[in-house]
Chain A
Amino acid sequence: MYSEKVLEHFRNPRNVGKIENPDGVGKVGNPVCGDVMVMYLKIKDDVIEDAKFETFGCGAAIATSSMATELIKGKTIREALSVTNKAVAEALGGLPPHKMHCSVLAEEAIQAAINDYLEKNGRSHEQVPARDISCEA
């Protein structure tokens, strides 16, 4: 049911772990629903220097977390905020329909971590262009 790419990222997830003194942390999901993603960011001059994650969840949740960190590393926060759940899913060669919500979680984790960074720096979320986060998942 999973693509090769999903299985590969699940098997060898990139960027697992915490970042000491992170500039932004985003925690999304709910253990009741079976998946929780925590994303840690190291950001300098609005550029994501490092991204790590910790995830409790199924194969798709772990693979999307891994892919999401890969997609945003080295990007500006503005670029990172434009990474959609669809982009994460596509980068993984697609997800089964009932697992699309995992990619939504990955998108939300990126957003939450960046918003945390902005808040910590006394900047409002509005400084980043508002985006449509609705999706087909």
Chain B
Amino acid sequence: MIYLDYNATSPCDPKVVEAMLPFFHEKFGNPSSLHSLGQEAKKAIEESRKEIAQLLGAHEDEIFFVSGGTEANNLAIKGVVSAYEKKGKHLITSVIEHHAVLNVFKTLEKEGFTVTYLPVNREGFVDPDDFRKAITPQTILASVMHANNETGVIQPIEELGRMARERGVIFHTDAVQTVGKLPIDLERLPVDLLSASAHKFYGPKGTGFLYVRRGIRFIPQILGGPHERGKRAGTENVPLIVGMAKALEITLKEQPEESQRIQELRDFLERGILERVPEVVVVGARAPRLPNTSMMLVKYVEGESMLLNLDFAGICVSSGSACTSGSLEPSHVLLACGYPHEIAHGSVRWSLGKWNTLEEMKEVLAVFPDVVEKLRRISPFGKEVIHHV
């Protein structure tokens, strides 16, 4: 099997599994318990917090453990808006956000907030000028993702964060796709809140964290005990938190070398497909992009049928975003880039990770052109064009 869907999820690093195991059965204490077993667990999560904070240039008291990227985004946006709503009723985000952000803003609109959804250009890139113009004295929070999960396009969050800070606007970024893939230094990066999810960087599913800069207030969204300094109730998921810290440590240590290696593989795959398959567009090719992601639009064929044929050949990819595969609408991200529906339907996303090899890319290049050719033979579209290529 060739796994090329790392933006959807990644397998746990075996060293991560090893680090987690004792906390399921031997060191199983509740971190809130005062006995030694509980304190052992408490120590483990606090060490994990310290590790994560250090790796990202943050303070320990700025890291809050949550159940994953979706909860981190919900907590960041709803939490900040609840804390600052007396200051203003205007919010800013972008049209290409993950649904875990977009749907929160849509709910806030129903509650009386005004939301500006920043557009993107053809490359899937948010224009900082649009951001600057969108800020009003009423703006309390802006949320723009660090890199898009579908296109891999990296947004200018440093510039946006700086503008937000100058105008007294709190800035959140959904960094689910970048933590582990790009170096992040929160001491330098003008970001007030940042969401991360462990399973995107070889950690376990079901855990993540929200970074909240000192001085930024937010109202907890899950109420109960005094866990996470009263900001997120619920017994801490000790094994998963330990695994997440271990995963981040390993991933960031390997990151500089891995990024380069993965980018070379991605570029090899991309070049190879463009050489072999006519009428393919790489989305965001001229924008700064994550080294592991390639979103392609293949004309005259539909994405799911490519995905299924690749799956028959043992190759796992996504078409658009896995979250939208149950719906009939093409990806909102591709539509936002200005691609027409019929083109956006023909999307295939390759996202690479640390266990991919050059041999695998060659295998994909041997399979994919035939997949497209077969589907184009079935399709009523584009025959004249293709025969002339």
B101-131 at interface with A (beta carbon < 8 Å): none
Residues in B with CB closer than 8 Å to A33 are 328, 341
Residue with the highest number of chain B CB atoms closer than 10 Å, among A31, A55, A62:
A31
Shortest C-beta distance, A26 to chain B (Å), equals: 12
> A59 CA to B326 CA in the complex, in Å?
13
- With A16-B377, A34-B330, A54-B380 given, is the CB distance from A10 to B342 under 8 Å? no
Contacts of A2 in B (CB 8 A): 308
Are B379 and A56 interface neighbours, CB within 8 A?
Answer: yes
Asked if A56 contacts B308 (CB within 8 A), the reply is no
Give the distance to chain B from A28, nearest Cβ to Cβ, in Å: 11
State the Cβ distance, B126 to closest chain A Cβ, in Å: 26
CB proximity of A35 to chain B, nearest CB, Å: 7
A11 CA to B341 CA, complexed, in Å: 25
A13 and B378: CB pair below 8 A? Answer: yes
Cβ contact within 8 Å between A61 and B302: yes
Is B30 an interface residue when CB atoms closer than 8 A count as contact? no
Does B145 reach chain A (CB closer than 8 Å)? no
**Contacts A7-B308, A10-B308, A34-B302: A55 and B341 contacting too (C-beta < 8 A)?**
no
Contact of B302 among A7, A16, A27, A57 (CB under 8 A): A57
* Contact between B345 and A55, CB atoms less than 8 A apart: no
Task: Closest B residue to A57 by CB, please name it.
Answer: B302
Q: Which of B297-342 contact A (CB under 8 A)?
A: 300-305, 308-309, 312, 326-328, 330, 340-342
A-side interface residues, number (CB < 8 Å): 25
In the complex, A7 Cα to B308 Cα: how many Å? Answer: 9
Q: Does A36 have its Cβ within 8 Å of any Cβ on chain B? A: yes
Q: Is the interface of B mostly helix, strand, loop or mixed?
A: loop
- Shortest distance between the CB of A53 and any CB in chain B (Å): 8
Residue of B nearest to A54 (CB): B380
Q: What is the CA–CA distance of A22 and B381 in the complex, to the nearest angstrom?
A: 18
A128 contacts the other chain (CB 8 A): no
CA gap between A16 and B383 in the complex, in Å: 14
**Which partner residue on chain B sits nearest A2 by CB separation?**
B308
B380 touches A59 (CB 8 A): no
Q: Answer yes or no: A133 CB below 8 A from chain B CBs.
A: no
Neighbour of A56 across the interface among B301, B327, B340, CB < 8 A? B301
Complexed CA–CA distance, A10 and B302 (Å): 13
**Residue pair A56, B380 in contact (C-beta under 8 Å):** yes
Q: Are A32 and B305 in contact (CB under 8 A)?
A: no
Let me know if B342 and A31 touch, CB within 8 A: yes
B360-380 vs A: 1/0 string, CB under 8 Å? 000000000000000001111
How long is the Cα–Cα vector from A60 to B266 in the complex, in angstroms?
Answer: 30
Cα of A58 to Cα of B301 in the assembled complex, Å: 9
Q: Give Cα A135 to B327, complex, Å.
A: 20
A56: chain B residues within 8 A (beta carbon)? 300-302, 378-381
Residues of B within 8 Å of A61, CB to CB, are 302, 305
**Residue-by-residue, is A60-76 near B (CB-CB < 8 Å gives 1, otherwise 0)?**
01100000000000000
The answer to whether B380 and A62 have CB atoms under 8 Å apart is: no
A13 to B308 Cα, complex, angstroms: 14
Residues in chain A within 8 A of chain B (CB atoms)? 2, 7, 10-11, 13, 16-17, 27, 31-36, 38, 54-59, 61-62, 98, 101
- Jot down 14 A-B pairs with beta carbons below 8 A, ordered by A: A13-B378, A16-B377, A31-B341, A32-B342, A34-B302, A34-B328, A34-B341, A34-B342, A54-B380, A55-B378, A56-B380, A61-B302, A62-B305, A62-B378
